[in-house]
A and B are shown apart, each in its own frame.
Chain A
């Protein structure tokens, strides 16, 4: 902490604090109540980068994408009122997917609070249910400590979004800035409970005794930077390991113990065998309903071991036999020496046997189709080939998302960016912008449906202005495909408001000076994908896919995971 003080405005302090915290850039949109901060961003533009999006929702999703690939805290900014409320969807998304964000919102001057002033909304109340923490600053001198605390809370423990709402007078008034001190602790907050060795021993005993153990891992492995420890653990214990949507890419796709995805559109083997394993080890996951299906018939035969950083998740949905609290890295490090070296080859073979059934009934038709129409699976296969299984893939929400997580291959962690818990359509395009800026050395491919694309396609303007070289693939089936699939299966094909008449997507991309191509036949597909990946700038590829294709396997809502349907 510097001993010298300087007289600066609250707005300047915001920017100085962001720089001192090590934040590289922010995504945002200016407006009346945050103009003093934007004025300082202008002055400090050689030290701190600001990306102007085309909508505040774009800003927050871009910050999420940045956080997901870089592992750093994403920063989003917006003005008061509508600016702040437009951030809310992304904040809710970050809350449910545990993404570290600091959102800075302008607020009307403190003497106007509660007067229904122009562009006043009660951002603290609106954001409370969807933030890890929020705070309203009304005095300039509170700014350094509030920002330090915001970053600390956002990134520590189970990460999440934080909102700092700063009144305009706090931005404008001058105070004695004493330098920036990073926050190292908050009295009432324990980021990660310390891992108790007795709990680890109990879990190890259950794991060592297991004949048919199965792991389900989630994003906790990635958020805890525990990929190496996780790999060492599963390899020593020889346990088949399945992933949740957000756990994807923590373990390479081609790892021999990677048995695929659990849940509603997960793989056949792990869903079936969830109800046959004798010990189910959940690591950094929260037993979401899309993972478990009907809880009354979920893994009832198994002892449940749960490694988890958030005490509120223990027994929330599934009753555990051995809960181990703590950070994934710490738990996995502590348990490794207690684990017997084993292989469960016969048990692993059961997963592979189900894989063969799934291949024959589902996968073959996706990857080696005999019918004329293009499948989403073969587009993903083409992306795998062109990027050697090593792209960051950002997906939106719907059929294409489930096809992406099922068919995209991954070699490196932090490569699967998608809206998991909230299921936010419109997430992918802005998130891909942030994801690329968080991983400039990687190929970043956004895979989006024609519905979700049109929710945030104004962010093509952000791509035009920043020249960020993201690759955009729109899988166009002229339907809101997932809803249509449910209408087909559960509503007697009454396609209520799911058919889409779309604009000319090529012209739209070209209007933003983005090279664009449309593919309608199999013969052109791989060449177009290769061209897109090789292109040095942003690229837009529209692939017209089969209109009424369905995502299988599927565990219908309310069904047991072992009643997973293949057709």
Chain B
């Protein structure tokens, strides 16, 4: 069966240990997590996990069942990329002298509308938010000049469809 990139969104209570509990569900099934982000959500005291995996749809459905079974999980969803609005952020750090020695770097910054996070005498940092392929392309462009540090965030995504978590929480309270 065909594997695809699925983005799993999980709304949970904000409890210690839940990240471990959820990640073990993937480990148990020998599934590698491509990226994972946890943050607070639009609802107070409710956390949101965004997990990216490559799996078959049958397997992702089953793992959603196992995730929802966890006591402190409110609801889990899975989506393909076309059902989502999503982005990632990357940061690139360089030596400051490169800004002057390599004019091409300035061009890349301008052409890609990169945000300069900080500049000082020894280093400067630029950031880029976008799709993974855009970040990958940028990485390739910067690579010849010597990237001092690079980091990319996990994918964050909102679904095109409503997820109605408030309604689900109200239903729990009934």
Question: Nearest Cβ in chain B — how far from A147, in angstroms?
Answer: 15
Given contact pairs A124-B20, A315-B62, a sample of 16 additional A-B residue pairs in the complex whose CB atoms are under 8 Å apart: A125-B17, A128-B17, A128-B21, A129-B28, A133-B71, A134-B17, A136-B17, A185-B172, A186-B72, A187-B74, A188-B71, A188-B74, A311-B65, A312-B65, A312-B66, A316-B62
Within the complex, the shortest CB–CB distance from A116 to chain B, in Å, comes to 19
* B65 CB contacts on chain A under 8 angstroms: 311-314, 316
Instruction: Judge whether B24 is part of the interface by a CB distance below 8 angstroms.
Output: yes
B71:A190 contact, CB within 8 angstroms:
no
Q: A165: shortest Cβ distance to chain B, in Å?
A: 10
Q: Write out the residue numbers on chain B whose beta carbons fall within 8 Å of the beta carbon of A189.
A: 71-72, 172
Does A132 lie within 8 Å of B71, measured CB to CB?
yes
- Is the CB–CB distance between A187 and B172 below 8 Å? yes
Which residue on A lies nearest to B45, using beta carbons? A187
Cβ-closest 3 pairs across A and B: A312-B65, A133-B71, A129-B24
Please give the residue numbers on chain B whose beta carbons come within 8 Å of chain A beta carbons, in ascending order: 12-13, 16-17, 20-21, 24, 28, 61-62, 65-66, 68-69, 71-74, 169, 172-173
Which residues on A sit within 8 Å (CB–CB) of B172? Answer: 185, 187-190
Q: How far is the CA of A204 from the CA of B72 in the complex (A)?
A: 34
Tell me the bound Cα distance from A161 to B69 in angstroms. 14
Query: Taking CB as reference atom, which chain B residue is nearest A191?
Result: B71
What is the number of residues of chain A that contact chain B, defined by CB distance less than 8 Å? 23
Smallest CB separation, A178 vs chain B (Å): 23
Contact of A153 with B by CB under 8 A = yes
The number of residue pairs between A and B whose CB atoms lie closer than 8 Å in the complex comes to 54
Q: A136-B17, A188-B74 are in contact. Are A128 and B173 (CB under 8 A)?
A: no
Closest chain A CB from B59 CB (angstroms): 11
Could you give 5 example pairs across A and B, Cβ below 8 Å? A128-B17, A128-B20, A186-B72, A311-B68, A315-B61
A312 near B69 (CB under 8 angstroms)?
A: yes
B170 to chain A, nearest CB (A): 10
Give the B-binding residues of A (Cβ under 8 A).
Answer: 124-125, 128-129, 132-136, 153, 185-190, 310-316
For B17, give the chain A residue with the smallest CB separation.
A124
Complex CA–CA separation, A187 to B173 (angstroms): 6
Residues of A contacting B28 in the complex (Cβ-Cβ under 8 angstroms): 129
* Closest A residue to B75 using CB positions: A188
Chain A residues whose CB sits within 8 angstroms of the CB of B71 once the complex forms: 132-133, 153, 186, 188-189
- Knowing A134-B17, A188-B74, the reply to whether A128 touches B68 (Cβ < 8 A) is no
Measured CA separation A366–B12 after assembly (Å): 55
Q: Which residues of chain B are within 8 angstroms of A310 by Cβ–Cβ distance?
A: 69
Query: Of all chain A residues, which has the CB nearest B11?
Result: A188
- Interchain CB contact under 8 A, B16 and A136: yes
Which single member of A124, A136, A188 contacts B73 (CB below 8 Å)? A188
**With a CB–CB cut-off of 8 A, which chain A residues contact B13?**
187-188
Contacts of B72 in A (CB 8 A): 133, 186, 188-189
- Which residue of chain A lies nearest to B22 when distances are taken between CB atoms in the complex? A128
Give bound CA distance, A136 to B18, whole Å.
12
Q: Residue of A at shortest CB range from B27?
A: A129
Contacts of A129 in B (CB 8 A): 21, 24, 28
